[in-house]
Structure 1
Amino acid sequence: MITVADVEAAAESLSGHVVRTPTLPSPGLTALLGADVTVKLELLQRTGSFKARGATVKLLSLSPAERDAGVVAVSGGNHGIALAVMAGVLGVRATVVMPRTAPARAVDTAGAAGAKVLLTDTAPEAFALMEELRAGGLTPVHPFDDPLVVAAQGTVGLEFAEDAGELTDVLVSIGGGGLIAGVATALRARRPGIRIWGVETEGAQAMTAALATGSPVPVELSSVVSTLAAPSVSALTYAHAEALVEDVLTVTDAEAVRGTLDLAEHAKVWAEPAAGCLLPAARRVLEQVGPDARLGLVVCGGNATTADVAAWSERFGAR
C-alpha cells in the first residue's frame, strides 16, 4: 500500500503542472441534503477531471528511453483525455485504447490532443490490447493499477485535508479504485477519525464484488456511466479500500443522472454522472450517521456533454 509520504512526493512532482482545485462550502447542497456539505471541485482540473494528476506523475517518471518509445493507456474516457493532453504538453507520444462505449467527446478530445486512439468492442478487450502494445515496447499508464498513479490521485485528498473545514464523512466515486485509494490514504493520515465512503453505479460494481469475494474479480458491465466502468479493480486498489473505506454504496444509473441535474441546479456546477452518483449516496450516508455529519464530496469530473445528459435524462425520466 502507498503511504502519505508517497502522496506528498507526488504533490511535489505535480507543482506547476496541475490546478489546485477549489474546496468550497456548498450552501445549495447543504440546503438540499439537510447537512453541511463541502465540495472539492476536481471537474475544474486540467482536462476536466482528477485524472490529469495520475497521468502527469507517471509521465514525469519516465526514463529517456521510455519517453522515446511512447506510452499506452486504456480508458473509459477521462483517463484517456488526461493522458493524451498531458503527453502532448510534455512531448511524449501516446496511444489510447478505448471501448466503443466511451463517450464520443472523449475519443475526439484524445485524438485532437495528438494521441493515437484505438477502439475495441468491450472494456476487457481494451485492457488486453493495452497489454499487447505493452509487450511491443510501449510503457503502460494504467488508470489505477500503479502506485505512482494512486499516489498522484491521492493529492486530491491531501488538498481536501488542508483546505476544508471540519469533515466527518467524505464520499468518493469508484471506477477502478485509484482515486478512492489515494484519497483515503491522504485523508486518513491527515484526519484519522474521518470516514471514507465509496460510490458505484449498478452495472459497474467492481469494488463491491471484490469486497464481497475477498479479492478482485471480473464483473459484467452495463452502466451508462462509462467513466466508472472498470472490468475489475486491482489488488492494489482493493487493499486500500478493504483497509481504509467505511463502505461502498451502490446507486442506480437513474439516480446518478438525477444527481448530475441536482449538482447543476443546487451546486451550480456541471458535473458528469460519475460525480452525480455522490448525491443519492450522501443521503444514505446521512441515514446511517445522522444529520449532524459534515460531508465532503469529491466532484471528480465534468466531461459529460449537454446532449449526453439530456439523452440520459429522457431515458430515465429524470427532471
Structure 2
Amino acid sequence: MIGIADIEAAAERIAGHVVRTPTAASPGLSALLGVPVTAKLELLQRTGSFKARGAAAKLLSLGEAERAAGVVAVSGGNHGIALAAMARALEVKATVVMPRSAPARSVELVESSGATVQLTDGMESAFALMTRLRQEGLTPVHPFDDPVVIAGQGTVGLEFAADAGDLTDVLVSIGGGGLIAGVAAALRALRPGVRVWGVETEGAQAMSEALAAGGPVPVALSSIVSTLSAPAVSQLTYEHVSELVTEVLVVPDREAVLGSLALADHAKVWAEPAAGCLLPAARRVLERVGEGARLGLVVCGGNVTTGDMIAWTERFGLR
C-alpha cells in the first residue's frame, strides 16, 4: 500500500515540474447541489490533467540506463499527453501506444511534443503492444499499475487536504484507479474522517467489476470516455480502492456529458466527461449521506474540444 511518506517524497521530487493547482470553493456548484462544494482544479495542471504528476514522478525516478533506453506508455489520451510533454522537458525519448478511438486532438498533442505514436485497434491490443516494446528494452511508464505513479497522483490529495476547508466527502473519477488510489491514501492519512467515492462511466467499469469479482477482471469497453477506459484495473489499485474507498458509483455517458455542460455553466470550467461524471454521482452521494455534507470534487482534466462536446450533445439529444 502507498503511504503518506511515499506521497510526500513524490511531492518533493516533482516540485518545480508541475503546478500546484487551485483549490477553490465553487458558489455555482454549491447553489446547484445545495451543499458547500470545493473543487480541486486539476484541469489547470500542465498538459490539462493530473497525469503530469505521475509522469513526472516516474521519469524523475528513473536511472540513467532506463532513461537512455527510452520510455513507453499506453494511453487513451491524458497519460500519453503528459508523458510526452514531461519526457520532452527531461530529454527522454518516448513512445506512446494509443487506441484508434483516442481523441484526434490527444494524438496530435502527443506527436507535437516529439513522442512517437503507435495506434492499435483497442486498449487491450495497446497494452499487449506495450508489453512487447518493454521486452524489446523500452522502459514502461504504466498509467496506473506503478507505485511511483500512484504516489505522484496522490499529491493531488496531499494538496487538497492542505488547501480545502472542512470536507465530509470527496469524489474522484476512476479509469485504471491510479488517481483515486493515491488521493485516497493521502486523505486517509491526513483527513481520516473524509469519505472517498469513486466514479466510473457505463462501459468503462473496470473497478466496480473488480470489486464485484473480488479482484481485477477484464471488461468490455464501450464508453465514449476514452480517458477512463482501462481494460482492467491492477491488483495494486484494486487493493487501495477496496480498502480505502467508500463505494464506486457508475453513471451513464449521457449524464457525464451533462455534467461537463453543468461544470461550464455553473463552475465556469471547461472539463472533460471524465470529470463531468462527478456531478451526477455527487447527487447520489448526497441522497445517501443526508444533510451536513461538504463535498470535494477532483476535476481531473479538461482535454476535450468544442467539436467533441458538440458531437456528444447532439448524440445524446442535449441541445
In 2, Cα distance between equivalents of 1:52 and 1:15? 12
**What secondary structure, in the 3-state scheme, does the structure 2 residue paired with 1:154 have?**
helix
Give the C-alpha shift of residue 317 in structure 1.
1.4
Q: Aligned residue for 2:305?
A: 305
CA distance in 1, matches of 2:34, 2:158: 26
> 1: CA distance between counterparts of 2:230 and 2:115?
21
Deviation at 1:51, TM superposition (A): 0.1
Which residue in 1 is equivalent to 2:137? 137
1:151: which partner in 2? 151
1:258-301 residue CA offsets vs partner (Å, 9 max, x unmatched): 00000000000000000000000000000000132000000000
Residue of structure 2 in register with 1:18 after alignment: 18
Q: Report the secondary structure of 1:231's partner residue.
A: coil
Shift of 1:13: 0.3
- Tell me the equivalent position of 2:98: 98
1:202 aligns with 2:202: yes
Aligned to 1:3: 3
* CA deviation map 1:90-136 (0-9, x unaligned): 00000000001111011000001000000000100000000000000
- Deviation at residue 47 of structure 1 after TM alignment: 0.3
**Which letter does structure 1 place at the counterpart of 2:212?**
A
* 2:226 match: 226
Aligned-residue offset at 1:62: 1.0
Distance in 2, matches of 1:112 and 1:17, equals 19
- Tell me the distance in 2 between the aligned counterparts of 1:251 and 1:51: 22
Q: Does structure 1 residue 235 correspond to structure 2 residue 227?
A: no
The RMSD of aligned alpha carbons is 0.5
- SS of structure 1 residue aligned to 2:288: helix
Q: Distance in 1 between matches of 2:153 and 2:126?
A: 22
Letter in 2 for 1:202: E
Which digits, 9 at most, give the CA deviation of each residue in 1:29-76, with x for residues without a partner? Answer: 000001110000000000000000000010001111111110000000
Amino acid at match of 1:242: S
Find runs of 4+ consecutive structure 1 residues off by over 2 angstroms.
none
Q: Which whole-Å CA distance do the structure 2 matches of 1:15 and 1:71 have between them?
A: 21
Distance in 1 (alpha carbons) for counterparts of 2:238 and 2:67: 30
Letter in 1 for 2:232: S
Structure-2 separation of matches of 1:5 and 1:211? 27
Partner SS for 2:97:
strand
Structure 1: distance between partners of 2:81 and 2:216 = 26
SS at match of 2:37: strand
1:288 maps onto 2:288 in alignment: yes
Who is 1:64 aligned against? 64
Q: Which residue of 2 aligns with 1:89?
A: 89
What 5-or-longer segments of structure 1 have no aligned partner?
A: none
1:188 corresponds to: 188
Does structure 2 retain, via aligned residues, the 8 Å contact 1:34–1:291?
no
Amino acid at match of 1:68: A
Q: Distance in 1 between matches of 2:296 and 2:90?
A: 33
Q: Percent identity?
A: 75
TM-score, structure 2 normalization: 1.00
Q: After superposition, where does 1:106-185 map in structure 2 within 5 Å?
A: 106-185=106-185
Q: Residue type matched to 1:59 in 2?
A: L
Counterpart secondary structure, 2:296: strand
Query: What is the alpha-carbon distance in structure 2 between the residues aligned to residue 245 and residue 318 of structure 1?
Result: 32
Question: Within 2, Cα distance between the matches of 1:318 and 1:67?
Answer: 47
**Aligned partner of residue 298 in structure 2, secondary structure:** strand
Hey, what does 1:215 align to over in structure 2?
215
Task: Find the aligned partners of 1:144 and 1:38 in 2 and give their Cα distance.
Answer: 26
Note the alpha carbon deviations across 1:153-195, whole angstroms, 9 max, x for none.
0000000000000000000000000000000000110001100
Report the Cα distance in structure 2 between the residues aligned to 1:318 and 1:223, rounded to whole angstroms.
17
* C-alpha distance in 2 between matches for 1:255 and 1:70: 40
Equivalents in 1 of 2:284, 2:62: separation in Å? 42
1:39 aligned partner:
39
Query: TM-score scaled by structure 1?
Result: 1.00
Confirm or deny: 8 A CA contact 1:28 1:267 kept in the other structure: yes
- Counting matched residue pairs gives 319
